[in-house]
Structures are given as structure tokens and as C-alpha cells.
């Protein structure tokens, strides 16, 4: 069963947004652990597991919405990113 058929596209988009927010929070938590500037009781192992879980949720929602990756766009973005990294010095 496709969940989107049961809850509708708008609700699935809401779910995607919620999961993206949770993934962002998990990534920020991991950054706190890496930097050691703002202590958190979450362990590195827990943080990594949480990132994986939230990323999985995002991918699952994207699948329900039939979203795909634009490989050409990703390549262009990667090139821009590489240029910014090279130019930062």
C-alpha cells in the first residue's frame, strides 16, 4: 500500500517537511558533539543513529511522493561547491 494514497499529497508533503526538520535538528546535534562547544547529553553513537533514522524517514517520504534526484543538477551543484571550497583561501 502506498501511504500517500491513504493520507493524500498535502499530508505527505507536511510529513516530508516535518521529517526534514527532524533531520536538520539531528545534524545540528551532531555538530554540537563534534565541536564540543555546547555540551549535550546525547552520545555520538545516539546522534549518528538519529541522523540515519531521520534521513531514512525523509527518503521514505520522498519515495511516497515519487521524488527523484536530478543527477545533472547535482553535478552542477557539486562543481559550485568544489569551487567555493577551492576559493576560500
Residue range 50-85, pLDDT digits in tens = 999 999 999 999 999 999 999 999 999 999 999 999
Q: Within 13 Å and on the Cβ side, how many CA atoms surround 44? A: 5
Across 10-40, b (16+ Cβ under 10 Å) vs e yields: eebeebbeebbebbeebeebbeebeeeeeee
* pLDDT score recorded for residue 57: 98
pTM to 2 decimals? 0.90
Tell me the CA end-to-end span of the chain in Å, nearest whole number. Answer: 52
pLDDT in tens, 18-48: 999 999 999 999 999 999 999 999 999 999 9
Amino acid at each position: 500500500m502506498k501511504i500517500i494514497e491513504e493520507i493524500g499529497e498535502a499530508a505527505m508533503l507536511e510529513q516530508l517537511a516535518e521529517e526534514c526538520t527532524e533531520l536538520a535538528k539531528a545534524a545540528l546535534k551532531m555538530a554540537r558533539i563534534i565541536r564540543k562547544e555546547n555540551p549535550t547529553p546525547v552520545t555520538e553513537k545516539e546522534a549518528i543513529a538519529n541522523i540515519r533514522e531521520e534521513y531514512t524517514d525523509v527518503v521514505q517520504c520522498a519515495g511516497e511522493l515519487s521524488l527523484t534526484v536530478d543527477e545533472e543538477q547535482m553535478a552542477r551543484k557539486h562543481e559550485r561547491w568544489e569551487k567555493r571550497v577551492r576559493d576560500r583561501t
